Amino acid sequence: MANVDKTDRRRLRAPLSPWFRGTVTTLGSVAVTMLGLLFVTFLIGRVMPIDPVLAIVGERASQETYDAVYEQLGLDKPLLVQFAYYLWDVLHGDFGDSLLTARPVSEDIARVFPATLELATLGTILGVVLGVPLGVIAAVRRGSWIDQVARVVALVGYSMPIFWLGLMGLLVFYGILGWVGGPGRLDIFYEDIVPSRTGMILLDSAIAGEWGVFRNAFSHIVLPATLLGYYSLAYISRMTRSFMLEQLSAEYVTTARVKGMSERAVVWGHAFRNIRVQLITVIALSYAQLLEGSVLTEIIFSWPGIGSYITTALLSADMNAVLGGTVVVGLIFICLNILSDLLYRFLDPRAK
């Protein structure tokens, strides 16, 4: 009887063991990655040819004032001690105060990040909705005019500088045709009408029922979101086409066609199903790139997001803001990698 009880207990514990090991491994890798990210950003702040003390006190400050601020910032302590203080502050959400706004950097990032999140999310949605079907159709019709068009679209998306496309888009669709709104997120007339709940104007205006504000915000975001969506589409469609070509040449696809299965079932039910896990990584990387790489787009369209915030801070030697924004961008990559790993296990039973 005792042996039976021991066997039952082992059976109950066995399914939990792989899950527990996987969870511990994932958390450990995330912790190590985050620690490395913080250490790199800390070193960047120390090796940059910018004196944080002079950025605070100015070049005309006396030596006594300079020394006092130097000690107050903890720069007189050993490097490892400085990193320990920096790590402790960051873990508590304290990135210091911004020299430009005189507010905590964490508050500034919380204010500007929703604008980037809104823009990048719309761009990624456009890239996925248009890029995935385009890549699949191009692979199925390999060598046809549709395939050639898809390849040209991807090539142009990779080759054209996004700042040039942004300037041409503003000139044509805003300056000449007047189809879209200009730079910024809203016209002056519509500012401060909708209370900020999420920081995303489209969502906030929809919640408040202010559809006039919604239409105006949409007219401003549609052009930069389309440009980012085109950049995302070029990457996603190219990778989707490559993945699908590999699957369509596999033996199981040939077997399915010989058995008389419809082309739709072969393409979408078998081939596309086997590339979903790969596409998760592609979409996650594309989304992360739009979240942290839309600097030029935000500058051209005067979009008050985290990219323009970090750029302005860098040009003004505001290192607290630069390092705080860098850490947030790194966290975005880490979180998206964790999310893609979870989706792996949901879509592919072998990953469990």
DSSP characters for 326-343? HHHHHHHHHHHHHHHHHH
Over residues 106-129, mean pLDDT: 91
Does residue 352 register a pLDDT over 80? no
Q: What is the pLDDT of residues 252-304, one digit of tens each?
A: 888 888 888 888 888 888 888 888 888 888 898 888 888 876 788 888 888 88
| Geometric angle at alpha carbon 211, from 208 and 212, rounded to 5° | 120
Of 232 and 158, the structure prediction assigns the larger pLDDT to 232
Domains in the chain: ranges and CATH: 19-91 (no CATH), 106-351 (1.10.3720.10)
Between CA 352 and CA 348 the distance in angstroms is 8
Q: Which long-range contacts (CB under 8 A, 24 or more apart) does 79-85 make?
A: 79/46, 82/42, 82/46, 83/39, 83/42
The mean pLDDT of 313-330, rounded to a whole number, is 82
Q: Considering the chain, what percentage of its residues have pLDDT values greater than 70?
A: 89
3-state secondary structure of 144: coil
Question: Using the 8-state DSSP alphabet, how is residue 1 labeled?
Answer: -
More confident residue, 282 or 46: 282
Asked if pLDDT for residue 1 goes beyond 50, the answer is: no
Q: What is the mean pLDDT of residues 62-84?
A: 79
CA distance 97 to 150: 48
**Separation CA 27–CA 74 (nearest Å):** 31
Spatial separation of the C-alpha atoms in residues 132 and 226, rounded to whole Å: 16
Based on DSSP, count helices (H) and strands (E) in the chain, helices before strands. Answer: 16, 0
- Band the pLDDT of 5: cuts 50, 70, 90: low
| Residue 54 in tokens | 């002079």
Of 49 and 34, more confident: 34
Q: Where are the alpha helices (DSSP H) in 141-210?
A: 145-159, 162-169, 201-208
Residue 115, pLDDT > 70, answer: yes
Going by pLDDT thresholds of 50, 70 and 90, the confidence category of residue 214 is: very high
119-175: pLDDT as tens digits? 999 999 999 999 999 999 999 888 888 889 888 888 888 788 888 888 888 899 988
Mean pLDDT of the chain: 82
Q: What is the DSSP letter of 74?
A: T
d(C-alpha 104, C-alpha 141), whole Å: 55
Name the band, by pLDDT with cuts 50, 70 and 90, for residue 327. confident
